[in-house]
A and B are shown apart, each in its own frame.
Chain A
Amino acid sequence: MPLLDVSSLSIAFGNAPPVVDGVGFRVDRGETLALVGESGSGKTLTCRAVLRILPAAAQLRAGSIRYRSGHSDCDILTATPKTLRSLRGDRISMIFQEPMRSLSPLHRLGNQVAEVLHLHRSISGAQARRLVLAQFERVGFPDPERAWSSYPFEMSGGMRQRAMIAMAVISRPDLLIADEPTTALDVTTQAQVLGLIKDLQRETGMAVILVTHDLGVVANMADSVVVMNKGRVMESGRAMDILGAPAHGYTAKLFAAAPVIPATAAPAAARPVSADPILDIRNVTKSFTMKTGRWRKPFVVTACRDITLTLPRGRTLAVVGESGSGKTTCARVALGAVKPDPGGEVLFRAAPGSVPIRVHDMDAAQRRHFQRAAQMVFQDPYSSLSPRMRVVSALCEPMEIHGIGTRAEQREKAAEMVRMVGLSPDMLPRYPHAFSGGQRQRLSIARALTLDPSLLVCDEPTSALDVSVQDQILSLLEEIRDRAGLSYLFISHDLAVVSRIADDVAVMRGGVIVEQAPPDTLFYNPQHPYTKALIAARPDPDITRPINLDLVARGAGAPSSWPEMYRFEGTEAPALREVGSGHKVRCHA
């Protein structure tokens, strides 16, 4: 008899057709079920229906969610508020996507976690505290006492998610619902959090419903899989079967689109690097003076240190790193948005052999000229287009600013750019809300292209998109690069995305480049422990290749925990040494 039996569940908003339509699945005790789908597939609404945490406008049209455990047997959809409250947090608990915003910033972690115990058990403050501290230790807080009295904003995202997990499992629930629990986290943190959920599951025997869009996560976690699309179940069954041989076309499509770090083959001989760099970053260090609190002394944070990178014309240079690695600062310095510390240089050559613009030291005229030649594509297509501007105005605006062409010419150019990114010019009079995420990203690429730039800085251009759309955008970027002879500085946290588009990859950690090589070399022969951890942490949609948590743990820790050869002494990092053709590693000789 299953723990949870969802049958023909339908949810709708208003009079619109249902967004969840006849969904059914079963979860057994101790089993992990993955609910997989892209945005808009209804997977999140489905999992929230299990706890009846739905938007006020959502209507449960039909179906039942039967929950059976030792002393209770009820249909959650018809349960009284009182019964629901006794289930929530105690028998069925939930982890949310954004650990940054899912905890109250005004209450200490200990208070928020212990609250679960006080709500469901009659327990003294001291007993609750003891249990919470033990749980904190179990989920990996090095100092549980400190975690108890910390506020969420004092913690990193990974630590907050651990606190959320502690909160969810402290009452030893029968079922844990995890709604994209690691999507907002760095890959190495993701690997560790997934490992933790697995361990806790083994200890407590709870069942897990894991909602995710990432097939790699599914392969690592799930016993059974439900694939959803547009509110319906496309395919469901044992993870082994589905991941091995997807029967449904949609599932197969999802698999084909999932970015994968290529199976490692010996690298081909490195392509000869042209002696014509479009962008030359030399010895760039950028430090910020931080003022925190009113009375504490300001301190200096070095966002990136001694970065030297060269982008040959027509190529793609990728800078890869997790949050706080300094990759974004690097991009901003390259675009002249922030000035590097004295001593650093950024040189930009608009045409082969021309006199370089000193990006770190431009006057107003040079800046205008540079801005035409170097454009940026942003991460979030939802917030980088003004919702109050028609697409045509957004596309013509750069040309208006630079005083290029007549109005008619500008419109003609806008239409051309829209065609170039694979959309139709009759979409121009619309507002951005009429477009999907992928279409919006196409539009922001089109906007970046209207000035005929020679350099495009792409800041995580695909990370806010669904996998199938990610794939299309990457193809588009490749196609445009080769057609228009563009050069890309590509910022990303995802090695798999980078492996596809980049000619050269620089891996950053803690503000320095730890390893740099062409992607083939990097994946075939990673040297640095951090690079190895990054590669290992990337979940593979292949059930036979689980994440090697040991490898992740070895490289993802602090630079002081790395093997002797790579260790930093204080803030002094070893030098970046050439170990092969075009392959540099930061290590002691």
Chain B
Amino acid sequence: MMLLQYAVMRFATMLLTLWVVSILVFVIINLPPGDYLSNQIAELRATGQAEGVAKAEFLRREYALDRPIWEQYLIWAGFAPGPQGFFGLIQGNFGWSFEFDRPVAEIVGDALWLTVLVNLAAVIFVYVVALPLGVLAAAKSETWVDYTAGFVGYLGLATPNFLLALMLFYYGHKYFDLPIGGLMAPAFEGQPMSWPKVKSILVHLIVPTFVIGTSGAAAMMQRLRANMLDELSKPYVETAIAKGMKPSKMLRKYPLRMAFNPFVADLGNLLPAMVSGSVLVSVVLGLQTIGPYLLTALKSQDQFLAAFVLMFVALLTLIGTMISDLLLVLLDPRIRMGARD
């Protein structure tokens, strides 16, 4: 019951945060002087293309870029009626991309769920790799197991992602016949979902998951190892040994449970780091995620596209933190009951 209450409350605060984020995003994007269209109009005027200017002027009015910034925000978010009435983010209109001359929704459509897919795969990879390695490194601390795990981890942290990507592509293709670039075979692009398409996506996912996840997994593993080592020196571990428990079972039941908290809490930080960190990787690997779009949009001041991508990343982050908060409440009675001990 209390948990449900908490979840509802947590969801409400998430919406509130999202609202504040939307203001920040909009303000920051509008900080540089001018906008995409005024830049374009200036350029058209300079080259004497009058009909283009008329279209651009029309678009400026159509997207209310001629109004004060706070009005622009209200219209973009959907809190106030624009030239087309109430038609903003809330109503499901993501705006217009001037650079691509198409609605934002159309451009990012596929990229959205591919982004979610790639990053989800990477997050799962991070946890699946970091959990056993971190625990093993702590349990066998200062033995060759620990040193090897640490070495591999630091190697993962230190290698630039794009370099790793190129290397994996080369060797993956050479020895395992893994495809190079993209998230599916070109033949399936724009096709409806089918079993061969799913298979193609899964095969294409292998290298990106590995590339995006490695450094995160290495960092997570080191944190888990440090947390576990802290926990292993606590008296309750001795109590468990004095009961006659087997070391492996003892590890799983007591210190791991305790070391799990920071592990879960990291979920929220992991998502944005991956989305923004994987921009370069996406460019190098030719992944159709929203990373490359964000890069283009920011370079050309394509404000609605940029704003939407930023909002989307923020939403992912907020969902990530919400999930980790709810999990923590489920996992730790001290948080649930507000104890200080």
Q: Interface of A with B (CB < 8 Å)?
A: 51, 53, 84-90, 93-94, 96, 98, 100-107, 115-116, 119-120, 151, 153-154, 164, 167, 291-296
Given A104-B258, A106-B333, A153-B339, CB of A116 within 8 Å of CB of B243: yes
Question: Do A292 and B338 touch across chains, with their CB atoms under 8 A apart?
Answer: yes
User: Does B234 sit within 8 A of A, measured CB to CB?
Assistant: yes
Interchain CA distance A93-B243 in the complex, whole Å: 7
| B residues less than 8 Å from A164 (CB atoms) | 239
Question: Do B337 and A89 touch across chains, with their CB atoms under 8 A apart?
Answer: no
Interchain CA distance A294-B9 in the complex, whole Å: 10
User: Does B246 sit within 8 A of A, measured CB to CB?
Assistant: yes
Question: Do A153 and B334 touch across chains, with their CB atoms under 8 A apart?
Answer: yes
Q: List 13 A-B contacts (CB under 8 A).
A: A51-B242, A87-B244, A88-B243, A89-B243, A89-B245, A102-B235, A106-B257, A115-B245, A116-B244, A119-B244, A151-B337, A151-B339, A294-B9
| A residues less than 8 Å from B31 (CB atoms) | none
Interchain CA distance A352-B240 in the complex, whole Å: 60
A209 to chain B, nearest CB (A): 13
Question: Do B258 and A154 touch across chains, with their CB atoms under 8 A apart?
Answer: no
B137 to chain A, nearest CB (A): 15
Given A89-B243, A90-B244, A295-B5, CB of A103 within 8 Å of CB of B236: yes
* Interface residues in B, total, Cβ within 8 A: 28
Q: Interface of B with A (CB < 8 Å)?
A: 2, 5-6, 9, 234-236, 238-246, 253-254, 257-258, 331-334, 337-339, 341
B335 to chain A, nearest CB (A): 9
| B residues less than 8 Å from A93 (CB atoms) | 242-243
Measured CB to CB, the nearest residue on chain A to B341 is A153
Which of B235, B246, B338 is within 8 Å of A85, CB to CB?
B246
Which of B241, B246, B334 is within 8 Å of A105, CB to CB?
B334
Question: Do A94 and B242 touch across chains, with their CB atoms under 8 A apart?
Answer: yes
| B residues less than 8 Å from A151 (CB atoms) | 333-334, 337, 339
**7 further interface pairs, Cβ-Cβ under 8 Å (given A94-B242, A153-B333, A167-B239):** A88-B243, A90-B244, A93-B243, A106-B334, A116-B244, A119-B243, A153-B339
Interchain CA distance A116-B2 in the complex, whole Å: 32
Measured CB to CB, the nearest residue on chain B to A292 is B338
Measured CB to CB, the nearest residue on chain B to A84 is B244
Question: Do B238 and A104 touch across chains, with their CB atoms under 8 A apart?
Answer: no
Interchain CA distance A277-B9 in the complex, whole Å: 55
Interchain CA distance A85-B243 in the complex, whole Å: 8
Given A102-B238, A294-B6, CB of A119 within 8 Å of CB of B254: no
Measured CB to CB, the nearest residue on chain B to A150 is B333
A398 to chain B, nearest CB (A): 31
Which of A101, A106, A107, A153 is within 8 Å of B235, CB to CB?
A101
A157 to chain B, nearest CB (A): 11
| B residues less than 8 Å from A84 (CB atoms) | 244
| B residues less than 8 Å from A90 (CB atoms) | 244
Interchain CA distance A101-B341 in the complex, whole Å: 9
A221 to chain B, nearest CB (A): 21
